[in-house]
């Protein structure tokens, strides 16, 4: 009798997290706690960092294999939820919500700003080349490079297709740097611009008609999807969401897409991506390299955007010139990078509001990164 | 009339049954691949490297192989003497082979190990064939002849195209479609295309990623330039339309002004000014929200949930008087 109870207690202890805990689990749990602290105290992207941070904690609670509780164990609840990440279901749904909440007026009224969104994608391909040089395979390099697009859902979508084993590190890296946009971008912007350039006042955007707003998603999907069909899941959902918003006859659908749906998917994607960072799969040299490459791609993307505006200005007439401080907004961290442009602009001229102008390249960056993702898929998948 | 109906119905039932039976025919099964010298390849459920044979269902419907025989010695076929052959058990549901699928049997002379372990071993046989015989013990479904030296070759032998043992060549001659295969494919198609993947090709032709970067950035620019051109054209058309509309409005307003100017040469009268002021007042008021104009005394109420209302869930402390 006594032996039975002792054996039972021993078995219970073997099943518990204390018996299975390793140093890696503890490190990852601390990382999760840091994420949650940053989100609550510093308010860095709380909508993302809290689910991801909590997911990291959940994913690193030690357990015995075979209990069907882990995210990588077939049949577990977390595994079912993770299916949406693994098969690229969640990112297009997030794009639907983004489309339904994005106003493309700034872009429609000043179309030349869209080219900044293209230039800033240089970060993706610079990181791709750097990852190849560091010994990653082309598929892994493609998945890492997309961090430079500064678009979490796109990064998850591409890594789920090209390098599922690196998805945790890529997603965490992408979201971390998106949260750190106000820290990373301003020094580069100041370094690459003169005081005179920072004071450039841009022409106010013209009013955009309802007809133009409705036609925009329709024409854009036809143009981009025919050129890069592999980007269809992301681009299709983005422009579909925008049509729901701009058509003005599907307000209920647009409201759901831009509120309830995107909130639900954000919770699921954040939590499950966090869970996927189990110490055994996450704490590797590759993860550190991915973080380094992610920072590099952000720097290059910002540099490309700012330098492109400076070169573009050489061909523009006086009065039509673009303030190079909005060059950083070409990365698609909406609306953080546009906000950074505005804050930096106000530092040099308290009446020069750049937010509306910066939103143009910012949303162009969303389109640009989705197109770039499509190209990577067509070359590598 | 009723008689004809009954006959038609019977005919339909017979045809349907016939089709079903035909669909389930074991004659669609073929021996597809054989490996005798298994040094480091496929392992059975006991972790052993033993010879194996693969049966392929060529039909587009499921076929149950249960009850059929596998043997390396067809002696007694004419007499239906199957005492030395391996009969596939009919009690195992996994013997149902789905359409265009394969099933692997181990030729290990260990029939007690399970359904898929036969009672013969080609290493111990001088007959260089494997035969699949139907459950009646008399109908030969397929016989698979293999080279005598296969026992010394660590490669499998089988149909180049699944289930097809002979083909007609360009000269119209029937030739064998069997060969020593380059790859072992137990349980899957023999037609394997092994080549470099897309990304491996890319790594070879563009080791530094510069080519991909240039092409990709060009495509991104091309896509966004197309949108830029479209928006530019769209903007021009829209602005022109708006300009035309505003010009038409301005013209209408100008005509109205001329009429009014003629009428009020001596300036507006006091009544006219009062009317304009009244109109403006009404207009400004119309901008305001319309109120309900009902005044009530209604106690504000909030719906609390017992989950969040502390006074409902907490124990009340008794007061001593």
- Most confident segment among A42-51, A102-111, A130-139, B76-85: A130-139
Q: What number is the ipTM of this complex? A: 0.86
Count other C-beta atoms under 10 Å from residue A230's C-beta.
Answer: 18
Interface test with B, best of A126, A135, A379 (most B CBs within 10 A): A379
Reply yes or no on whether the pLDDT at A67 is more than 80: no
Tell me which chain B residues have a C-beta less than 8 angstroms from the C-beta of A128: 209, 212-213
**What pLDDT was estimated at residue B15?**
52
Nearest in space to A178 (alpha carbons), one of A282, A49, A61, A269: A49
DSSP code string of A180-249: THHHHHHHHHHHH--HHHHTPPPPPPPP--HHHHHHHHHHHHHHHHHH-GGGHHHHHHHHHHHHHHHTSS
**What pLDDT was estimated at residue B189?**
87
> Hey, what are B4's tokens?
């004809």
* Interchain CB distance below 8 Å, A138 and B215: no
Interface test with B, best of A125, A141, A238 (most B CBs within 10 A): A125
Reply yes or no on whether the pLDDT at A100 is more than 90: yes
Given the structure tokens 């049997």, which residue do they identify? B105
| Smallest Cα distance from B205 to chain A, Å | 11
Higher model confidence: residue B28 or residue A67?
A: B28
Chain B contact for A1, CB < 8 A? no
**What pLDDT was estimated at residue B294?**
63
Using alpha carbons, list the distances in angstroms from residue A41 to A27, A49, A88: 21, 12, 32
Task: Sort residue A135 into left (φ over 0), alpha (ψ -120 to 50) or beta.
Answer: left
Locate the chain B residue with the closest alpha carbon to A128.
Answer: B209
Query: Residue B135 in contact with residue B122, Cβ under 8 Å?
Result: no
Counting one residue from A and one from B, how many pairs have CB atoms under 8 Å apart? Answer: 115
CA distance A62 to A82: 18
* Interchain CB distance below 8 Å, B209 and A125: yes
Interface of B with A in 194-253 (CB under 8 A): 198-200, 202-203, 207-210, 212-213, 215-217, 219-228, 230-232, 234-235, 238-239, 242
Interface test with B, best of A104, A118, A363 (most B CBs within 10 A): A118
Dihedral angle sign, alpha carbons of residues B36, B42, B43, B45: negative
**What pLDDT was estimated at residue B203?**
82
Locate the chain A residue with the closest alpha carbon to B203.
Answer: A138
* Interchain CB distance below 8 Å, A219 and B213: no
> Hey, what are A66's tokens?
């075979």
Chain-centroid distance of CA A219 in Å reads 25
Dihedral angle sign, alpha carbons of residues B220, B226, B230, B236: positive
Higher model confidence: residue B3 or residue A147?
A: A147
User: Which of B207, B213, B230 comes nearest A128 by C-beta?
Assistant: B213
DSSP code string of A68-131: S-STTSTT-HHHHHHHHHHTT-HHHHHHHHHHHH---HHHHHSGGGHHHHHHTTHHHHHHHHHH
Residue B203, H or E segment: helix B198-205
Q: Is the peptide bond before A335 cis (omega within 30 degrees of 0)?
A: yes
CA distance A208 to B238: 9
CA distance A156 to A172: 10
Per-residue pLDDT tens digits of chain B, which is 321 residues long: 556 666 666 665 555 444 444 445 788 899 999 999 888 778 888 888 899 999 999 888 888 899 999 999 888 887 878 888 999 998 888 888 988 899 999 999 988 888 899 999 998 888 889 999 988 888 889 999 999 888 888 889 999 888 888 888 778 888 888 888 888 888 888 877 666 677 778 888 888 889 988 999 999 999 899 989 988 888 888 888 878 888 888 888 777 766 665 655 556 677 788 888 888 877 776 655 555 566 666 665 555 566 666 666 666 667 676
Return mean pLDDT, chain A: 89
Find the length of chain B: 321
Tell me which chain A residues have a C-beta less than 8 angstroms from the C-beta of B199: 137-139, 380
* Residue ranges covered by each domain of chain B: 28-186
* Interchain CB distance below 8 Å, B235 and A212: yes
Count other C-beta atoms under 10 Å from residue A18's C-beta.
Answer: 9
| Smallest Cα distance from B192 to chain A, Å | 20
Burial of B296 (0-12, 13-18, 19+ CB in 10 A): exposed
CA distance A127 to A130: 5
Chain B contact for A121, CB < 8 A? yes
**What pLDDT was estimated at residue A311?**
94
Reply yes or no on whether the pLDDT at A12 is more than 80: yes
* Interchain CB distance below 8 Å, A367 and B217: no
**What pLDDT was estimated at residue B269?**
72
* Residue A340 pLDDT class (50, 70, 90 cuts): very high
| Smallest Cα distance from B241 to chain A, Å | 11
Chain B contact for A312, CB < 8 A? no
Tell me which chain A residues have a C-beta less than 8 angstroms from the C-beta of B209: 125, 128-129, 132, 138, 141
* Interchain CB distance below 8 Å, A108 and B235: yes
User: Which of B200, B209, B220 comes nearest A132 by C-beta?
Assistant: B209
User: How much is the pTM?
Assistant: 0.65
């Amino acid at each position: 009798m006594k032996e039975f109870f002792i054996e039972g207690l021993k078995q219970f202890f073997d099943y518990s997290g204390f018996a299975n805990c390793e140093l890696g689990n503890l490190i990852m749990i601390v990382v999760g706690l840091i994420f949650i602290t940053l989100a609550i105290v510093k308010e860095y992207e709380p909508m993302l960092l809290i689910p991801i941070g909590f997911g990291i904690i959940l994913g690193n609670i030690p357990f015995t294999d075979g209990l069907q509780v882990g995210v990588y164990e077939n049949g577990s609840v977390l595994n079912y939820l993770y299916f949406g990440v693994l098969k690229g279901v969640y990112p297009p749904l997030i794009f639907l919500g983004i489309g339904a909440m994005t106003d493309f007026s700034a872009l429609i009224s000043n179309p030349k700003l869209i080219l900044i969104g293209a230039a800033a994608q240089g970060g993706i391909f610079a990181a791709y080349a750097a990852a190849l040089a560091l010994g990653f395979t082309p598929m892994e390099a493609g998945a890492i490079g997309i961090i430079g697009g500064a678009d979490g859902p796109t990064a998850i979508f591409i890594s789920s297709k090209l390098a599922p084993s690196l998805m945790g590190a890529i997603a965490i890296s992408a979201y971390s740097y998106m949260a750190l946009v106000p820290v990373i971008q301003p020094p580069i912007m100041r370094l690459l611009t003169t005081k005179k350039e920072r004071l450039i006042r841009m022409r106010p955007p013209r009013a955009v008609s309802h007809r133009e707003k409705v036609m925009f998603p329709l024409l854009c999907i036809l143009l981009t999807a025919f050129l890069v069909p592999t980007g269809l899941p992301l681009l299709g959902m983005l422009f579909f969401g925008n049509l729901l918003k701009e058509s003005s006859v599907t307000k209920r659908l647009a409201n759901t897409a831009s509120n309830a749906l995107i909130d639900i998917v954000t919770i699921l994607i954040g939590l499950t991506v966090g869970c996927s960072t189990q110490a055994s799969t996450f704490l590797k040299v590759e993860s550190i390299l991915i973080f380094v490459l992610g920072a590099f791609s952000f720097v290059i993307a910002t540099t490309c955007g700012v330098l492109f505006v400076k070169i573009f200005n050489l061909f523009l007439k006086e009065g039509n010139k673009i303030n190079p401080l909005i060059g950083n907004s070409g990365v698609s961290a909406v609306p953080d990078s546009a906000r950074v442009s505005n804050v930096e602009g106000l530092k040099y001229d308290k009446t020069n509001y750049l937010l509306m102008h910066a939103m143009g390249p910012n949303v162009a960056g969303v389109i640009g990164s989705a197109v770039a993702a499509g190209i990577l898929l067509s070359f590598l998948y | 009339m009723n008689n004809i109906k009954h006959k038609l119905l019977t005919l339909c039932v017979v045809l349907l049954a016939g089709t079903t039976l035909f669909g389930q025919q074991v004659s669609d099964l073929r021996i597809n691949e054989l490996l005798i010298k298994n040094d480091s390849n496929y392992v059975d459920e006991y972790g052993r490297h033993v010879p194996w044979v693969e049966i392929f269902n060529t039909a587009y419907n499921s076929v149950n192989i249960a009850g059929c025989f596998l043997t390396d010695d067809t002696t007694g076929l004419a007499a239906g003497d199957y005492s030395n052959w391996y009969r596939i058990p009919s009690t195992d549901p996994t013997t149902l082979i789905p359409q265009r699928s394969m099933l692997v049997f181990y030729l290990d002379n260990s029939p007690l190990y399970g359904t898929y372990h036969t009672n013969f071993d080609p290493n111990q046989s001088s007959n260089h064939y494997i035969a699949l015989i139907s459950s009646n013990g008399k109908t030969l479904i397929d016989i698979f002849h293999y080279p005598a030296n296969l026992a010394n070759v660590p490669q499998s032998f089988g149909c180049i195209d699944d289930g097809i043992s002979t083909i007609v060549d360009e000269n119209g001659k029937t030739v064998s479609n069997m060969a020593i295969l380059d790859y072992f494919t137990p349980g899957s198609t023999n037609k394997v295309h092994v080549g470099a993947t897309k990304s491996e090709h890319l790594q070879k032709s563009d080791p530094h990623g510069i080519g991909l970067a240039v092409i990709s950035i060009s495509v991104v620019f091309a896509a966004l330039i197309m949108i830029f051109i479209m928006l530019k054209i769209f903007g021009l058309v829209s602005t022109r339309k708006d300009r035309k509309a505003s010009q038409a409005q301005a013209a209408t307003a100008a005509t109205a002004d001329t009429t009014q100017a003629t009428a009020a040469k001596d300036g507006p009268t006091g009544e006219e000014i009062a009317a304009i002021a009244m109109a403006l007042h009404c207009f400004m008021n119309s901008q305001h929200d319309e109120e309900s104009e009902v005044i009530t005394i209604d106690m504000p109420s909030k719906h609390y949930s017992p989950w969040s209302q502390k006074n409902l869930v907490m124990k009340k402390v008794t007061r001593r008087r």
